């Protein structure tokens, strides 16, 4: 399915006294990759809003295998793995130099009709259209 990746250098303001990235910042790195992925299909947050749907994250799982260090360059890969009833994205964070896998994660989002604030139990047609798949 659709994939995207971004390269990030771990900045000083994201690290703790052990010179590793605080675990809460990983979500930010995933968000950067997710936005790059959504840009690939021309359905990032402004386009979602224009289509009449919000897509809140309802579930997040992160597996911290190895720490991210100050000034380390990482590649965050995002891939759409489900889209029929929800938008599920898998992530892998790897060290840019060695390719070693450091972290795995997933996020799950659901469509909410903005006007009614009702959650849909099936993804709207616009997502299928953006992905180029039939419903």
pLDDT reported for residue 75: 98
Q: How far apart are CA 96 and CA 132, in angstroms?
A: 31
Which one, of 4, 3, 7, lies nearest residue 96 by Cα? 7
pLDDT reported for residue 135: 81
Q: Name the pTM for this structure.
A: 0.94
pLDDT reported for residue 1: 64
27-81 confidence digits (pLDDT tens) = 999 999 999 999 999 999 999 999 999 999 999 999 999 999 999 999 999 999 9
Report the share of the chain in percent with pLDDT over 70.
99
Q: How far apart are CA 131 and CA 125, in angstroms?
A: 10
Q: How far apart are CA 15 and CA 56, in angstroms?
A: 27
Residue 47's DSSP bridge partners are: none
Q: How many helices (H) and strands (E) does the chain have?
A: 3, 8
75-98 confidence digits (pLDDT tens) = 999 999 999 999 999 999 999 999
pLDDT reported for residue 69: 97
Q: How far apart are CA 119 and CA 53, in angstroms?
A: 9
Which one, of 133, 107, 127, lies nearest residue 43 by Cα? 127
In the chain the domains, ranked by start, together with CATH numbers, are 3-131 (3.10.129.10)
């Amino acid at each position: 399915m659709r994939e995207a990746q971004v390269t990030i250098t771990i900045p000083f303001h994201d690290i703790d006294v052990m010179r590793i990235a605080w675990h809460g910042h990983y979500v930010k790195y995933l968000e950067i990759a997710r936005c790059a992925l959504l840009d690939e299909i021309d359905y990032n947050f402004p386009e979602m809003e224009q289509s009449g749907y919000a897509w809140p994250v309802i579930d997040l799982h992160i597996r911290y295998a190895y720490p991210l260090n100050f000034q380390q360059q990482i590649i965050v890969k995002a891939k759409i793995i489900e889209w029929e009833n929800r938008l599920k994205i898998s992530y892998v964070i790897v060290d840019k130099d060695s390719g070693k896998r450091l972290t795995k994660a997933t996020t799950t989002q659901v469509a909410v009709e903005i006007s009614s604030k009702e959650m849909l139990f099936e993804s709207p047609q616009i997502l299928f259209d953006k992905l180029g798949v039939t419903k």
